[in-house]
Amino acid sequence: MSVLVFEDQATASRAAASHIQSTIRIAVANRHRAVLGLATGATPRRVYAHLVELHRAGQLSFREVITYNLDEYYPIQPLDPRSYRAYMHDLLFSHVNIPPHQAHVLDGTVPEKFADQHCAQFDRWIAEDGGLDLQLLGIGRNGHIGFNEPGDLPLAEALALPTRFVELDTITRRDAARDFGGEDRVISGALTLGIASILAARSILILATGARKAEAVARALGGPMTYRLPASLLQSAASRVIWMLDLPAAAGLP
């Protein structure tokens, strides 16, 4: 896997935005569309701010861009300010020229008995759009990617995980406590792109900043491939993965 280390979060975010900009340019030139998998959370906020700046400066159009978000809390209303649909609207979709029907976020309101069907449909839509040109990822302190939380699954089963409903891990809920006003108020479920869906992307950009991520980053890059640390499974797609880190997140690397 390629690993690029930047002095600070600001520089890493700028580099990530410019990588996304060139992915869009190349995909649109070759196939008249770019299909992006997008992440939420604290880490990519500045990346979206840069993409919006590039759009405002006339250097980036989203007209031919199709997006699929990695995950969404479940259940949640799209207008709930803590939903990832609201996050994407506030930070990106409402500031750029992406046609609304090209911006997909898993539906936190789908009735429970249809959740599996909805998730399977999300994977099909991505495939029908030609697959993801780029999947943007963050990493949880527990090593999760999307909301694929650590567990004991054998490797082959973990690598085959599709988009689905999941229960959130304790560390994930602890980290989301601030947004929800307390750990016990964090919505306990989510819909997430699966490991297989993520690994199917033609390229993967994983961004990690801050000392809190250093241990997970070091284990994902240097440890064994195991679903106990889901980000380590990116090793199975090594030639298509780029890590962008700031110095504190890279502190555990040799």
Which residues are annotated as catalytic? 71, 142, 144, 149
Rounded to a whole number of angstroms, the minimum distance from the CB of residue 14 to ligand F6R is: 17
Tell which one of 144, 163, 199, 229 touches ligand F6R (CB under 6 A). 144
Question: Which are the contacts of 155, defined by CB distance < 8 A and separation ≥ 6?
Answer: 225, 226, 227, 233
Strands (E), 10-78: 34-38, 65-69, 71-74
Is residue 104 within 8 A of residue 69, CB to CB? The reply is yes
Q: Does 145 bind ligand F6R (CB under 6 A)?
A: yes
Between residues 38 and 65, which has the closer beta carbon with respect to ligand F6R?
A: 38
Q: In what order do the strands lie in the sheet with 2-6?
A: 2-6, 241-246, 204-208, 134-137, 34-38, 65-69, 103-104
Q: CB-wise, 6 or 147, nearer to ligand F6R?
A: 147
Binding positions for ligand F6R, 30-49, rule CB under 6 A = 39-43
CB burial class (10 A; 0-12, 13-18, 19+) of residue 81? exposed
Figure out which of the listed residues 75, 108, 140, 143 binds ligand F6R, where binding follows CB under 6 A: 140
Does residue 123 interact with ligand F6R by CB under 6 A? no
Nearest residue (CB) to ligand F6R, 31 versus 183: 183
The answer to whether residue 146 forms part of the interface with ligand F6R (CB under 6 A) is: yes
Per-position DSSP letters for 80-95, written without gaps between them = STTSHHHHHHHHTGGG
Candidate segments 95-103, 143-151, 178-186, 232-240, binder of ligand F6R by CB under 6 A: 143-151
Q: Please report, as ranges, the residues that interact with ligand F6R according to CB under 6 A.
A: 39-43, 70-71, 138-140, 144-147
